[in-house]
Structure formats: structure tokens, C-alpha cells
Structure 1
């Protein structure tokens, strides 16, 4: 799609068997704010974000990614995108209409090439939010989401063709081929990452903190809580952002980050980095080494929700 209609990442919705434990984690040590809850569904906001919520949790028998939600500027843009997807043979789950979720808005849902549910919406009411203060180590906003795909080139091309994403950088190596594509819909280096994996699943969900001090304080709080650190703290080369990855109670990976690179889209040319260079993974050299067992854990479980629309 030549015209970019998406503006930003709104929220990521997860379904989990142990709903209470997951809710305690995100509304507790992770630092999100519980804004609404009803009959096994909870909506959690980031205090610094105008979005109504950045994570939705749903009680379910199977662990799955329910959906990834992106914003559009106007209802007309929502309609234009829906028409484009229909004309291109993309399977729509719903047609553009008023949304029943907190903040309302106008949007629709569809399946991406791997079977994930994606939602696009406009005119969602702005949530009352606030400035995050110095040393306050709670998420300011949702930063980005990374998904696993068995064919990252196909998935990248689909997002470029249908949703107007642009490639910012790629990581790979001669013996593996490409293993990560970083995709953008704004000057932010990436709001979507596509990682090579044996199956489609969620790789990680990332939350922006106020600054380096808040990032380290948040990392320390998670460590003291007994949450399992997967990887970090460190600083990536692609995106130049910091990272501390933790596993949530159901084995999904969540990240604290800050200082994501803002690039000049008119002059930017994608890099092709090799992960054989240690500075690509971690410029600081402070994180634990990425190894094959850890990489397999980051592939997560097979997503049980592919090409199955969430019930709500």
C-alpha cells in the first residue's frame, strides 16, 4: 500500500488460562494501571499514555495472542484500509463499525498472513494521563511488539504491501539468513518486529520507560520481585534502545526499554547487521549472552489462535 494509513501501536491483547496470576503481574510489579475489569477481561493502561489501555487480558482455556491493535487518523482512513484489504483478498473478521471496547472508536479486524488478528481503529477517546516523574519506574507507553514467523520475508512483504510498513533494519548471518526485520509506521525505528521462528507466536511486547534511570530502577524492581530475567539489561544496535526482557507468569516475554531511535525517514537506508558482531545484540556488553536454549524460549508456545478470531 503506497499510502501509510496507520499512525501508532495502540494495544496488545493476550488470552491466558491463569488469568488472576497474569493480572496480578501486569497490574502489580510490571506497573500498569487496571482501568476496567468485567467477567474475566481486564484492561490495563500505561500512566503516561493517552491510550485507553495498552494490554488486555482475557481468561481462556488456551494461551494465545488475541490481537494487535493499531491506530488510524480518521474514520475515512479506516474505511480506505478496509476497502484495500478486501480488494486484495485479505480475510476480514469484522467490517468497520463502532467499537464496544473502552474509549469506543471506529474500527475493524482482519487476519494477517500468518493468521494473527489485527485491529485498526480511529476516534478512540483519549484517556486522562499524566507526566511520569523522575525516578518513577512505570511504563510511559507501549513501545513495540515483536512476533515470530516461520517465513519472515513473506510476513515483512505482507505488512509492507497491505499496511504501509517500512523496513528500518535487518539482522541475520550467513549461516542462518535473516532472523529479524524491524518495521516502522513513523519516525520511531520500529513499532513491529518480525523474528524468525519455527511457528507463528508472540515473541515479546515492549514498554517504554521515562529514561535510563527509570529503566534501571524498573529492571531492579522486577529482579527483586523474583520475576525471571530472560535477557538484559543491555542496549541494542538496531533501534539503539535499551532492553531488559522478563518472562510473565505464562511464559510470554515482556520488555522494558527506553530511548528508541527516532530516524529521518527521508534519508534513512536500512542496515543489514550480523548478530555475529556482539555489539549488534548489546552495545554495552552488560547483558547475558543470547544462546540457543534462550532463543527457543523466545519462540514461545505455538499460538492457538491463528485464523481463529477472539470471541471478544
Structure 2
């Protein structure tokens, strides 16, 4: 696909076995706002984002990534994308139509090449939001999502072919080769990335903060609350963004970030970063090293929901 109708990442939906703790974590610790709650289902918004919600949590016996939702330019583009996917042999879970999630809109769901559920939508109502104030240590919006795949090159090729994502940069391991691939659907350096892993799973979800001060206040707030810190604080080379990774109550990894690179589509050329260089992981040199333990935390549990649509 030479042109991508995808505009941005809307929300990431997860299912967890310890629903109450996850809801308390997002609302009580992470800084999100619960907007709607049903039986075993809670939607969380970011105060600075026009999206109706950026994370949905569902109660289930199994932990899984329910779906990743992307915005599309308009309803016509939604229909065109559905037709393109069908022609490309992609399995649709639902036909384009009215959505019954908060904010409504028009969209459909389908399986990606690894069996994850993806939603594409347009015309979702804008949520009333506000400017995040100086030193307010809560997320402004959803930044990006990183996926684990045992065949990352194949996963990247699928998203390039069917959804029009473009490669921004690559992390290269001296022995493993391509370790992480950063993909964009607009000027933001990456809205999604794919990481090499023994199994298909969620690597992490990232949330954008107002600025460096707010990012550090949030990092310190969680550290003082003894939320398990996995990696950071530091600043990556690829994307030039800050990072602090924490483990949530169900073993998923969540990231605070800020200052993710905005690039010029006409002049940008992808780079390959060597992971043997410590500045690739952390330019500042302030974080704990990226080692086998950190990697194992990022691997997460193998996703049990592949090629299975969530009930809602």
C-alpha cells in the first residue's frame, strides 16, 4: 500500500484476570480517568486527549491483548480499507458499520498477520479534554504500542503491505540481527513498533507526558509508590524519546515517555542502531542497563487470544 489511510493510534484494549487491581492501577496510580464502566469492562481516557478512551480493560480468566484500534481519515477510507484487506486475503471479523463503543463512529475489525485483533474507525465523537498543566504528572495522550513477534520481519511486512505503515528506524543486535522495528503512520517517529520475541505478545503500551518535568514527576511518583520499575529513567536514541517502564498488576509493561521525535516524511531516511552501543538504549546513561532480565519482562506472557475475537 503506497498511501496509508491510518492517521493515528486510538486505543489499546487488554483483558486481565485481576480486573480490580488493573482498574485501580490505571485510575489510582497511572493517572488515567475512568469514563465508563460496565460489568467487567472499564474505559480509561487521558485528560489531554480528544479520544473517547485510550485504554479499555476487560475482566477475563486469561490475560490477552483484546485489540489495537487505529483512526482512519473518513468513512469512505474505512470502506476502501476493508475492500483492500479482503482483496489481500485478510480475514475480517466484522464488516464496516456503526460502532457501539463510547463515541460511536464507523469502523470494522480484522486479524493481523499474527492473529491479533485490529480495529479501524472514523467519525468517532471527540471527547471534551483540557490542557495538562505544568507539573501535572498524568498522561496527555496515548503515544505508541510495541508488539512482540517471533518473526518481526514478517509482521512488519504485513503492516507495511496492508495498512501502509512506514519504517522509521531499526535496532540491530550483533547476534540476532533486527531486534526492533519502529513504524509510523504519520510524522510521529513511531505509533507502533515490533520487537523480536520467542512468542507473540504485548511488549508495552506507552503514554505521552506534557514535558520532561511532568515525565520525571510521574516516574518519581510511581517509584515512591513502589510500583515495580523495569527500566529507566532514560532517553532512547531511536525516536529520541524519554522512557520509564513499569510493570502493572497483571504483568504487562507500561511506559511514560515524552518528546518523541516528529520527523519530515519527505527527507527522513531510516537508520540502523547497534544495540551493542549503550547510547542506543539510553543516551543519558541514567537508566539501569538493558539486560536479559529487562528483556524477559518485555517478553510478557504468550498471548492466548490469537485469532479469537474478544466478546465485546
TM-score bucket of the superposed structures, by smaller chain: over 0.9
> How far does the alpha carbon of each residue in 1:239-296 deviate from its partner, in whole angstroms, 9 at most, with x for none?
0000000000001000000000000110000001110011000000000001112201
- Distance in 2 (alpha carbons) for counterparts of 1:138 and 1:286: 22
> How far does the alpha carbon of each residue in 1:94-114 deviate from its partner, in whole angstroms, 9 at most, with x for none?
010100000000000000000
Q: Residues 40-79 of structure 1 correspond to what in structure 2 (within 5 A)? A: 40-79=40-79
Secondary structure of residue in 2 paired with 1:29: helix
The list of structure 1 runs, each at least 4 consecutive aligned residues, that deviate by more than 6 angstroms after superposition, is none
Whether 1:306 aligns to 2:306 is yes
- Mean CA deviation greater in 171-180 or 156-165: 171-180
2:101 aligned residue:
101
Normalization by structure 1: what TM-score? 0.99
1:297 aligned residue:
297
1:156 aligned residue:
156
Indicate if the aligned counterparts of 2:174 and 2:275 stay in contact, CA closer than 8 A: no
- Distance in 1 (alpha carbons) for counterparts of 2:268 and 2:287: 28
RMSD: 0.5
Indicate if the aligned counterparts of 2:237 and 2:279 stay in contact, CA closer than 8 A: yes
1:12 aligned residue:
12
Normalization by structure 2: what TM-score? 0.99
Whether 1:186 aligns to 2:186 is yes
> How far does the alpha carbon of each residue in 1:31-64 deviate from its partner, in whole angstroms, 9 at most, with x for none?
0000000111000000000000000000001000
The Cα of 1:236 is off from its aligned counterpart by 0.2
1:235 aligned residue:
235
Secondary structure of residue in 2 paired with 1:28: helix
Structure 1 spans left out of the alignment, 5+ residues: none
Indicate if the aligned counterparts of 2:174 and 2:276 stay in contact, CA closer than 8 A: no
Secondary structure of residue in 2 paired with 1:240: coil
The Cα of 1:75 is off from its aligned counterpart by 0.3
* Number of equivalenced pairs: 312
The Cα of 1:174 is off from its aligned counterpart by 2.9
- Distance in 2 (alpha carbons) for counterparts of 1:249 and 1:290: 22
1:198 aligned residue:
198
